Amino acid sequence: MKPIVGISMSREAAEGYPRDFLRATYIEAVRRAGAVPLLLANCDESVSLLELCDGLLLTGGGDVDPTTFGAADDGTEWSGVSPDRDRTELALIAAADHLNLPVFGICRGMQVMAVAYGGTLIQDIPRRRPDSALHHSQKESRERVTHSVDLEPDSRAAEVAGNTHFEVNSFHHQAVDRMPDGWRVVGRASDQMVEAIERPGERYLLGVQWHPEDLATAHQPAQQLFEKFVEACLAYQAGREQHVGRSR
């Protein structure tokens, strides 16, 4: 049986009517990698669905509320903040910890991983780092790469990507600031902005700041990020099936 990947969803209050949604590029990247996507709505009940899953994918989307990492609002123009999404994803991460699931975070997903383990975020890059020559929120299409990321040679991220140099797209104005204990910064842009994080150890815990799901159809290293994640999910599934009490 193919592994099941639980995928978090965005929350939007379009015209006053909240809706949960997910761009199909995430779903297709997971399917191409050989897994079954299971969409996790922004509600408490989604946490119990992780019992059915072999991995958790945390997706991009709106800003993380600064209260989740103990900070005051610094006057940033917020976009897409959702207390329901923040609460759901933090609970999903805690449940994934309990189950020892592989976790892959993309853009906001990487940021919420950092917050969940005790890190903090830069609330607005242009205001905090006006000296940066990079445009981290690009105007070009999502399929275009606009800057590079250098990965640490001894990192899981470099092993997964198959290279220490990665060309990426970029759609964020927040970024990881203080790292949580036990985690490594394993990728940076030329302005030293954090672009990839991981926690050393056997368990697969990796976050990237760019959007490989939008590059994956034409850029094999981007699709490879999903393939290696699904390999970790397959290994988790194999271990699960050895224990009858946790088999599906």
* Residue pLDDT, tens place only, 181-193: 999 999 999 999 9
pLDDT in the model for residue 138 = 75
pLDDT score at 244 = 47
Per-residue model confidence as pLDDT tens digits over 118-134: 999 999 888 877 877 67
Here the CATH number for the domain that contains residue 53 is 3.40.50.880
Please tell me the total count of domains within the chain: 1
pLDDT of residue 47: 96
Which positions are annotated as active-site residues? 107, 211, 213
pLDDT tier, 247 (very low <50, low <70, confident <90, very high otherwise) = very low
> So what's the pLDDT on residue 243?
60
pLDDT single digits (tens) 32-68: 999 999 999 999 999 999 999 999 999 999 999 999 9
- For residue 193, the enclosing domain spans 4-246
SS3 of the chain: CCCEEEEECEEEEECCEEEEECCHHHHHHHHHCCCEEEEECCCCCHHHHHHHCCEEEECCCCCCCHHHHCCCCCCCCCCCCCHHHHHHHHHHHHHHHHHCCCEEEECHHHHHHHHHCCCCEECCHHHHCCCCCCCCECCCCCCCCCEEEEECCCCHHHHHHCCCEEEECCECCCEECCCCCCCEEEEECCCCCEEEEECCCCCCEEEECCCHHHCCCCCHHHHHHHHHHHHHHHHHHHHHHCCHHHCC
Over the stretch 207-230, which tens digit does the pLDDT of each residue have? Answer: 999 999 999 898 888 899 999 999
Q: What is the pLDDT of residues 92-118, one digit of tens each?
A: 999 999 999 999 999 999 999 999 999
